Protein backbone atom coordinates (compact mmCIF):
# COMPACT_ATOMS: atom_id res chain seq x y z
CA UNK A 1 0.00 0.00 0.00
CA UNK A 2 1.48 3.35 -1.04
CA UNK A 3 0.24 5.57 1.75
CA UNK A 4 1.96 8.77 0.64
CA UNK A 5 0.57 8.45 -2.87
CA UNK A 6 -2.88 7.76 -1.49
CA UNK A 7 -2.65 10.89 0.66
CA UNK A 8 -1.63 12.96 -2.34
CA UNK A 9 -4.57 11.63 -4.34
CA UNK A 10 -6.87 12.43 -1.42
CA UNK A 11 -5.62 16.00 -1.41
CA UNK A 12 -6.08 16.24 -5.17
CA UNK A 13 -9.65 15.00 -4.88
CA UNK A 14 -10.36 17.60 -2.22
CA UNK A 15 -9.17 20.26 -4.66
CA UNK A 16 -6.04 21.41 -2.88
CA UNK A 17 -4.09 23.54 -5.32
CA UNK A 18 -0.77 23.03 -3.57
CA UNK A 19 -1.28 19.30 -4.02
CA UNK A 20 -1.88 19.79 -7.72
CA UNK A 21 1.34 21.78 -8.05
CA UNK A 22 3.23 19.10 -6.16
CA UNK A 23 1.64 16.39 -8.29
CA UNK A 24 2.30 18.06 -11.62
CA UNK A 25 5.82 19.28 -10.87
CA UNK A 26 6.80 15.85 -9.65
CA UNK A 27 5.15 13.60 -12.20
CA UNK A 28 5.22 15.54 -15.46
CA UNK A 29 9.02 15.51 -15.90
CA UNK A 30 9.26 11.85 -14.94
CA UNK A 31 6.48 10.79 -17.29
CA UNK A 32 7.88 13.02 -20.02
CA UNK A 33 11.21 11.20 -19.84
CA UNK A 34 9.37 7.88 -19.67
CA UNK A 35 7.52 8.72 -22.90
CA UNK A 36 10.50 10.38 -24.59
CA UNK A 37 12.55 7.21 -24.36
CA UNK A 38 9.76 5.31 -26.10
CA UNK A 39 9.16 7.67 -28.99
CA UNK A 40 12.76 8.00 -30.13
CA UNK A 41 13.27 11.37 -28.49
CA UNK A 42 10.36 13.06 -30.30
CA UNK A 43 9.62 15.86 -27.80
CA UNK A 44 6.34 16.94 -29.40
CA UNK A 45 5.03 13.40 -29.39
CA UNK A 46 6.15 12.89 -25.79
CA UNK A 47 4.40 16.10 -24.73
CA UNK A 48 1.12 15.12 -26.43
CA UNK A 49 1.28 11.63 -24.97
CA UNK A 50 1.97 12.77 -21.42
CA UNK A 51 -0.67 15.49 -21.61
CA UNK A 52 -3.25 12.95 -22.74
CA UNK A 53 -2.10 10.49 -20.07
CA UNK A 54 -2.22 13.05 -17.25
CA UNK A 55 -5.64 14.30 -18.34
CA UNK A 56 -6.84 10.70 -18.36
CA UNK A 57 -5.12 10.10 -15.03
CA UNK A 58 -6.70 13.03 -13.19
CA UNK A 59 -10.10 12.01 -14.52
CA UNK A 60 -9.59 8.53 -13.07
CA UNK A 61 -8.03 9.57 -9.77
CA UNK A 62 -10.97 8.15 -7.84
CA UNK A 63 -10.08 4.68 -9.11
CA UNK A 64 -6.51 4.78 -7.77
CA UNK A 65 -6.24 2.13 -5.05
CA UNK A 66 -2.54 2.47 -4.13
CA UNK A 67 -1.85 -1.16 -5.02
CA UNK A 68 1.02 0.17 -7.15
CA UNK A 69 2.84 3.46 -6.74
CA UNK A 70 1.18 6.46 -8.31
CA UNK A 71 4.07 6.71 -10.77
CA UNK A 72 3.64 3.10 -11.86
CA UNK A 73 -0.11 3.67 -12.20
CA UNK A 74 0.47 6.74 -14.35
CA UNK A 75 3.08 4.86 -16.39
CA UNK A 76 0.45 2.26 -17.22
CA UNK A 77 -1.83 4.97 -18.54
CA UNK A 78 1.07 6.55 -20.42
CA UNK A 79 1.96 3.20 -21.98
CA UNK A 80 -1.54 2.99 -23.44
CA UNK A 81 -1.20 6.47 -24.88
CA UNK A 82 2.19 5.55 -26.33
CA UNK A 83 0.71 2.44 -27.86
CA UNK A 84 -2.08 4.50 -29.47
CA UNK A 85 0.48 6.98 -30.70
CA UNK A 86 2.66 4.28 -32.21
CA UNK A 87 -0.34 2.68 -33.86
CA UNK A 88 -1.26 6.01 -35.44
CA UNK A 89 2.33 6.79 -36.40
CA UNK A 90 3.04 3.43 -37.92
CA UNK A 91 -0.24 3.61 -39.83
CA UNK A 92 0.99 6.88 -41.29
CA UNK A 93 4.55 5.60 -41.74
CA UNK A 94 4.35 1.89 -42.62
CA UNK A 95 8.13 1.54 -42.77
CA UNK A 96 8.26 2.17 -39.01
CA UNK A 97 5.90 -0.74 -38.44
CA UNK A 98 8.20 -2.87 -40.55
CA UNK A 99 11.16 -1.77 -38.43
CA UNK A 100 9.36 -2.67 -35.23
CA UNK A 101 8.47 -6.07 -36.66
CA UNK A 102 12.08 -6.63 -37.62
CA UNK A 103 13.32 -5.66 -34.17
CA UNK A 104 10.82 -7.95 -32.51
CA UNK A 105 11.65 -10.92 -34.68
CA UNK A 106 14.21 -13.07 -32.78
CA UNK A 107 15.96 -14.21 -35.93
CA UNK A 108 16.42 -10.72 -37.27
CA UNK A 109 17.41 -9.45 -33.86
CA UNK A 110 20.11 -12.11 -33.61
CA UNK A 111 21.35 -11.09 -37.02
CA UNK A 112 21.37 -7.43 -36.05
CA UNK A 113 23.16 -8.17 -32.81
CA UNK A 114 25.76 -10.34 -34.55
CA UNK A 115 26.90 -7.45 -36.72
CA UNK A 116 30.43 -6.77 -35.48
CA UNK A 117 31.09 -3.52 -33.75
CA UNK A 118 32.94 -0.85 -35.62
CA UNK A 119 36.69 -1.10 -35.32
CA UNK A 120 36.61 2.41 -34.00
CA UNK A 121 35.21 1.77 -30.51
CA UNK A 122 34.45 5.37 -29.58
CA UNK A 123 30.91 5.57 -31.04
CA UNK A 124 30.06 2.28 -29.40
CA UNK A 125 31.34 3.51 -26.04
CA UNK A 126 29.42 6.73 -26.41
CA UNK A 127 26.26 4.82 -27.20
CA UNK A 128 26.87 2.61 -24.18
CA UNK A 129 27.22 5.69 -21.98
CA UNK A 130 24.00 7.10 -23.39
CA UNK A 131 22.19 3.84 -22.76
CA UNK A 132 23.57 3.65 -19.25
CA UNK A 133 22.60 7.26 -18.54
CA UNK A 134 19.09 6.60 -19.80
CA UNK A 135 18.79 3.58 -17.50
CA UNK A 136 20.12 5.51 -14.49
CA UNK A 137 17.65 8.32 -15.23
CA UNK A 138 14.84 5.80 -15.55
CA UNK A 139 15.87 4.27 -12.22
CA UNK A 140 15.80 7.69 -10.55
CA UNK A 141 12.40 8.40 -12.07
CA UNK A 142 11.00 5.22 -10.57
CA UNK A 143 12.16 6.20 -7.08
CA UNK A 144 10.02 8.29 -4.77
CA UNK A 145 10.92 11.85 -5.71
CA UNK A 146 12.50 12.71 -2.35
CA UNK A 147 14.90 9.79 -2.76
CA UNK A 148 15.88 10.87 -6.27
CA UNK A 149 16.29 14.42 -5.08
CA UNK A 150 18.58 13.58 -2.17
CA UNK A 151 20.72 11.35 -4.39
CA UNK A 152 21.10 14.08 -6.98
CA UNK A 153 21.95 16.67 -4.33
CA UNK A 154 24.61 14.36 -2.99
CA UNK A 155 26.13 13.02 -6.19
CA UNK A 156 25.42 15.63 -8.84
CA UNK A 157 25.60 18.82 -6.81
CA UNK A 158 28.22 17.29 -4.57
CA UNK A 159 26.67 18.79 -1.43
CA UNK A 160 27.66 17.68 2.03
CA UNK A 161 25.14 16.02 4.32
CA UNK A 162 24.91 19.26 6.29
CA UNK A 163 24.31 21.33 3.17
CA UNK A 164 21.59 18.94 2.02
CA UNK A 165 20.02 19.13 5.47
CA UNK A 166 19.94 22.91 5.22
CA UNK A 167 18.51 22.77 1.69
CA UNK A 168 15.76 20.33 2.69
CA UNK A 169 15.09 21.86 6.09
CA UNK A 170 15.78 18.64 8.01
CA UNK A 171 18.52 17.41 10.35
CA UNK A 172 21.80 15.87 9.18
CA UNK A 173 20.78 12.59 10.77
CA UNK A 174 17.59 12.59 8.75
CA UNK A 175 19.60 13.19 5.59
CA UNK A 176 21.95 10.30 6.37
CA UNK A 177 19.00 8.03 6.96
CA UNK A 178 17.30 9.29 3.79
CA UNK A 179 20.46 8.74 1.76
CA UNK A 180 20.82 5.20 3.04
CA UNK A 181 17.21 4.40 2.16
CA UNK A 182 17.56 6.13 -1.20
CA UNK A 183 20.68 4.16 -2.13
CA UNK A 184 18.96 0.96 -1.10
CA UNK A 185 15.90 1.86 -3.18
CA UNK A 186 18.10 2.79 -6.13
CA UNK A 187 19.79 -0.58 -5.86
CA UNK A 188 16.47 -2.44 -5.69
CA UNK A 189 14.91 -0.61 -8.61
CA UNK A 190 18.20 -0.57 -10.51
CA UNK A 191 18.67 -4.31 -10.16
CA UNK A 192 15.86 -4.82 -12.67
CA UNK A 193 17.00 -2.09 -15.04
CA UNK A 194 20.75 -2.09 -14.49
CA UNK A 195 22.09 -5.65 -14.38
CA UNK A 196 25.46 -4.30 -13.33
CA UNK A 197 24.35 -3.38 -9.84
CA UNK A 198 22.70 -5.29 -7.05
CA UNK A 199 23.25 -6.58 -3.57
CA UNK A 200 22.65 -4.96 -0.27
CA UNK A 201 24.58 -2.04 1.12
| Binding residues for other proteins (CB under 8 A) | 12-15, 20, 24, 28-29, 32-33, 36, 43, 46-47, 50-52, 54-55, 58-59, 61-62, 129, 132-133, 135-137, 140-141, 151-152, 154-156, 179, 183, 186-187, 190, 194, 196-201
Closest to other proteins by CB, 51 or 69: 51
Query: What is the closest distance, in whole angstroms, from the C-beta atom of residue 197 to other proteins in the complex?
Result: 5
- Contact 189/151 with Cβ under 8 angstroms? no
- Contact 31/75 with Cβ under 8 angstroms? yes
Query: What is the closest distance, in whole angstroms, from the C-beta atom of residue 20 to other proteins in the complex?
Result: 6
Query: What is the closest distance, in whole angstroms, from the C-beta atom of residue 156 to other proteins in the complex?
Result: 6
Phi-psi region of 16 (alpha: psi -120 to 50; beta: other; left: phi over 0): beta
Inter-CA distances, 94 with 83, 104, 182, Å = 15, 16, 44
Query: What is the closest distance, in whole angstroms, from the C-beta atom of residue 119 to other proteins in the complex?
Result: 22
Closest to other proteins by CB, 99 or 180: 180
Closest to other proteins by CB, 111 or 192: 192
- Contact 111/181 with Cβ under 8 angstroms? no
Q: Which of 35, 84, 77 is nearest to 55 (CA)?
A: 77
Q: How far is CA 70 from the centre of its chain?
A: 12
Closest to other proteins by CB, 17 or 116: 17
Amino acid sequence: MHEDDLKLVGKLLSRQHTAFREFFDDYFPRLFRFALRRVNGDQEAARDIVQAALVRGVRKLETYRAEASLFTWLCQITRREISDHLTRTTREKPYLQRLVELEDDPEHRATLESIPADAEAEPEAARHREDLAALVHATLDYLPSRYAKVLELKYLEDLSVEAIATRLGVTAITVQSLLARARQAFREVGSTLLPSIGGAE
